Amino acid sequence: EITADGAGLSPYVEVTPHIRTGASVGAAVTLSKPSCKVIIVPGSTEPGATRRINTGGISLKFLQTLR
């Protein structure tokens, strides 16, 4: 966890995934609610098997997106 000081400055922090090309050095940023925006790869879903009321073995592939 990183905390900014009263002036809004913080120590160096590693950002993953890396910041896109073209970002301005020294620009102000807001970091909140970490998340991963993704899309499901079409045709990659497997429904799994249902036994009584439980379903298991469901699978899918996803790609991270910046949309």
The overall pTM is greater than 0.85: no
Please name every residue paired with 39 in a beta bridge, in sequence order, or none if there are none: 63
| pLDDT tens figures, 2-53 | 777 888 778 777 777 777 788 887 777 776 776 788 999 999 999 889 988 8
pLDDT at 4: 79
| Amino acid type, 30 | T
Sign, CA dihedral 49-54-57-58, equals positive
